[in-house]
Amino acid sequence: KMTTPVITSAVTASNGDDSSSDDTLGNSKQMAFVLPSTYWDGLDEAPRPLDGSGVSLQRKEAETRATIMFGGYATSASTEERKLELSKALQQSKEWSIATDGVDMDMAFSISQYNDPFTPPWRRLNEVSIKVVS
């Protein structure tokens, strides 16, 4: 059974985490899989990753994120378009502002994908999100 969403984020080489990989453009990416809520209270009960797999279990604290949803495949072009759209909306907002936490703006975005690879484009759900503060 697939966990959803699968979250892809850009990472810096200095983050000390060896679970990232380079895409075809040489950009370092990290993929996160959300475990079912039965494991949220303690990672001790979660299934252990295989040794040498490059997979690690990490707990991520809650944060407020602005999100824009879109269908189809999450291509580089479609995600860049949504990042720009979300950035413009947040620049016009009187209530919310982007919290980059000292990282490059492009690296602050995450892409969430909710469907398995065999789902046809017209039934796919994706999100581009970024951390915000009020």
Amino acid at 52: G
CA separation for the pair 9, 4 (Å, rounded) = 15
Q: Does the global pTM surpass 0.85? A: no
CA separation for the pair 129, 66 (Å, rounded) = 5
Tens digits of per-residue pLDDT, 15-55? Answer: 444 444 544 445 678 888 888 888 878 788 888 889 998 88
